[in-house]
């Protein structure tokens, strides 16, 4: 093999490696899984709407894992982005529901106390 | 298009068919161009637009502007992708994410609003508790002060009654406390002008009454049975009025004091004896207590 041939194969090999498909979205997978966990810890299970989005996120993580196993990494990344959006929304909904319940309880306490004082 | 439209008739291409198909295709192209070739947005993009509009109308606009802006940018990204590449999967994915971000902004706005409401309620609770404690303290103080005032009033009343008992007969009856003053110490015979000694006694009565407090007094004049009833009625009335007016000059509120002439009615002793007649000639002050 002369130098010219060697350079040709080097360039060809590098090009093939660079164009050999998207890398496995490990980070996106970990982030989506962590967000789902966060939503569950944040009380998403106590609110039906939040629970629905947790389920959507989990389903999509499962799909993404399948896509990764089929080397469809680009598609998997997009699916994981969707999953993460669902998990983040689930946590926000859970927090909102909790804040609303706390506010209602505080208002009720004020009402009760006023009633007692007014007696 | 031409390839798809190609048809064989008996193994040969029908030229007339090719020509007509090409005409239809050209017409369709012109029509599409006339309509701007606008692709229909995918449902995901429509949902994202609607979710963003909803979030922007709610509390997120003021309370979660950063999240709302993120949602806006995500929606713009999805829209741009759609404008450039049409309703492909990437557009759908971006719109899906944009919709979630808009809903997240709305939820953050709702959470912030609820937290503010809760903080206000907590503050209200603390204020109400403080107010309640203050009211309790004030009530307790007022009760204590009232107790002291009542004890003082009772003490004064007791002293007043004791001083009255020295100059007049004091009796508690169903009609009220009755203070009886002998007519002989108040008036000369047949007269209704107060004697100087009478004024001294009435000064004490007035002081006792004003110290003790009362709701109303009725000054009733009585005579013995000597003389005509009409003369006795008139004399008893003048004497009662004279006592009532003097008491008013000594501080008894005029609106609370009235006078009545009772004549020879309700004798308290026998009119046949001089002592009995002297006892019947009298002025009674009927006091209605405050409570």
- CA–CA gap between residue B81 and residue B92 (Å, rounded): 9
Total residues found in chain A within this entry: 119
Chain A segment 62-81 residues within 8 A of B by beta carbon are: 78-79, 81
Same domain? For B216 and B265 the reply is yes
Same domain, B49 and B97: yes
Q: Does residue A96 lie within any of the structural domains?
A: yes
Handedness of CA A84, A88, A89, A94 (dihedral sign): positive
Q: pLDDT band for position A4 (50/70/90)?
A: low
Tokens standing for residue A48: 């039906």
Q: For residues B85 and B217, what is the distance between their CA atoms, to the nearest angstrom?
A: 105
**Which of B100, B126, B154 corresponds to the end of one domain?**
B154
- The distance of Cα B187 from the centroid of its chain, to the nearest Å, equals 58
The number of C-alpha atoms within 13 Å of A32 and in the hemisphere containing its C-beta is 29
Please state the domain count of chain B. 3
Which of A89, A96, A117 is nearest residue B100 as measured by Cβ atoms?
Answer: A89
Interior angle at CA B151, CA B149 and CA B155, nearest 5 = 115
If asked whether residues B203 and B118 sit together in one domain, one would say no
Between chains, do A96 and B107 touch, taking CB under 8 Å as contact? yes
Query: What gap in Å lies between CA B167 and CA B182, rounded to an integer?
Result: 10
Q: Shortest CA distance to A89 belongs to which of B74, B120, B155?
A: B74
**Contacts with B129 from chain A: Cβ below 8 Å:** 113
Q: Is residue A111 part of a domain?
A: yes
Any bridge partners for residue B173, and if so which?
Answer: B176
Q: Do B134 and B102 sit in the same domain of this protein?
A: yes
φ/ψ (deg, to 5) at B175 = -80, -10
**Nearest residue to B283 via CA among B214, B213, B222, B235:** B222
**CA B166 to chain centroid:** 52
Domain with B235 in it: 168-288
What residue numbers bound the domain in which A100 lies? 23-118
- Whether B63 and B91 map to the same domain: the answer is yes
Residues B142 and B70 in one domain: yes
Tokens representing B131 are 């107010």
The C-alpha of B38 sits at a distance from chain A's nearest C-alpha, in angstroms, of 26
Residues B128, B231, single domain; the answer is: no
| Mean pLDDT score across all residues of chain B | 85
Give the chain A residue whose CA is nearest to the CA of B111: A96
pTM over 0.80: no
Strands B216-222 and B257-261 come out as parallel
Domain count, chain A: 1
Residue A17 confidence (pLDDT) above 90: no
Q: How many CB atoms lie within 10 A of CB A32?
A: 26
Q: Check if B134 contacts A (Cβ < 8 Å).
A: no
**Chain B residue with Cα closest to A103:** B118
Residues of B in contact with A56 (CB under 8 A): none
Q: Is residue B186 part of a domain?
A: yes
Q: Which of residues 231-260 of B touch A (CB under 8 A)?
A: none
Residue B1 structure tokens: 């298009």
SS3 B266: coil
| Residue B240: inside a domain | yes
pLDDT for the residue B230: 93
CA distances from A101 to A89, A98, A106, B106 (A): 18, 5, 9, 17
CATH code: domain of residue A102? 1.20.1270.390
> How far apart are the C-alpha atoms of A18 and B179, rounded to whole Å?
123
**Based on the domain organization, do B29 and B67 belong to the same domain?**
no
Q: Is residue A73 part of a domain?
A: yes
* B179 plus B255 within the same structural domain: yes
Residues B211 and B251 in one domain: yes
pLDDT tens over chain B, length 291 residues = 333 333 333 333 344 443 444 444 444 444 444 444 578 999 999 999 999 999 999 999 999 999 999 999 999 999 999 999 999 999 999 999 999 999 999 999 999 999 999 999 999 999 988 988 888 899 999 999 999 998 987 887 778 777 778 778 888 888 888 999 988 788 888 888 888 888 888 998 898 888 878 899 999 999 999 999 999 999 999 999 999 999 999 999 999 999 999 999 999 999 999 889 888 999 999 999 886
For residues B13 and B46, membership in a common domain is answered with: no
Residue B176 lies in a domain: yes
Kindly tell me the burial class for residue B27, based on how many C-beta atoms sit within 10 Å of its own C-beta (0-12, 13-18, 19 or more): exposed
List beta partners, residue B260. Answer: B220
């Amino acid at each position: 093999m002369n130098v010219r041939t060697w350079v040709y194969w080097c360039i060809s090999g590098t090009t093939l490696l660079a164009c050999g498909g998207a890398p496995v979205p490990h980070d996106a997978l970990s982030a989506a899984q962590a967000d789902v966990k966060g939503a569950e810890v944040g009380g998403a299970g106590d609110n039906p709407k939040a629970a629905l989005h947790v389920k959507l996120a989990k389903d999509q993580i499962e799909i993404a894992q399948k896509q990764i196993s089929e080397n469809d990494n680009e598609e998997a990344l997009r699916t994981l982005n969707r999953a993460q959006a669902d998990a983040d929304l689930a946590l926000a909904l859970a927090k909102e529901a909790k804040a609303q319940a706390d506010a209602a309880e505080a208002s009720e306490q004020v009402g009760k106390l006023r009633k007692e004082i007014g007696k | 298009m031409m390839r798809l439209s190609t048809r064989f008739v008996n193994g040969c291409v029908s030229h007339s068919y090719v020509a007509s198909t090409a005409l239809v295709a050209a017409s369709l192209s012109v029509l599409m161009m006339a309509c701007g070739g606008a692709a229909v947005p995918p449902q995901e993009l429509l949902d994202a637009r609607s979710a963003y509009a909803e979030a922007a109308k709610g509390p997120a606009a003021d309370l979660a502007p950063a999240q709302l802006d993120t949602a806006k940018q995500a929606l713009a990204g999805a829209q741009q992708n759609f404008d450039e590449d049409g309703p492909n999967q990437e557009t759908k994915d971006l719109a899906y994410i944009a919709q979630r971000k808009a809903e997240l902004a709305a939820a953050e706005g709702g959470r912030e609003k609820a937290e503010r409401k809760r903080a206000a309620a907590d503050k209200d609770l603390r204020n109400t508790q403080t107010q309640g404690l203050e009211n309790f303290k004030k009530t307790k103080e007022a009760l204590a002060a009232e107790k002291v005032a009542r004890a003082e009033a009772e003490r004064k009343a007791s002293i007043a009654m004791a001083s009255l008992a020295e100059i007049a007969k004091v009796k508690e009856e169903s009609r009220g406390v009755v203070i009886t003053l002998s007519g002989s110490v108040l008036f000369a015979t047949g007269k209704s002008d107060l004697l100087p000694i009478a004024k001294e006694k009435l000064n004490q009565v007035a002081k006792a009454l004003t110290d003790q407090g009362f709701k109303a007094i009725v000054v009733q004049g009585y005579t013995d049975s000597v003389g005509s009833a009409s003369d006795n009625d008139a004399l008893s009335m003048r004497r009662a009025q004279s006592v009532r007016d003097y008491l008013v000059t000594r501080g008894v509120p005029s609106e609370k004091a009235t006078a009545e002439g009772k004549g020879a009615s309700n004798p308290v002793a026998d009119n046949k004896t001089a002592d009995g007649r002297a006892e019947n000639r009298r002025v009674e002050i009927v006091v209605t207590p405050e409570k």
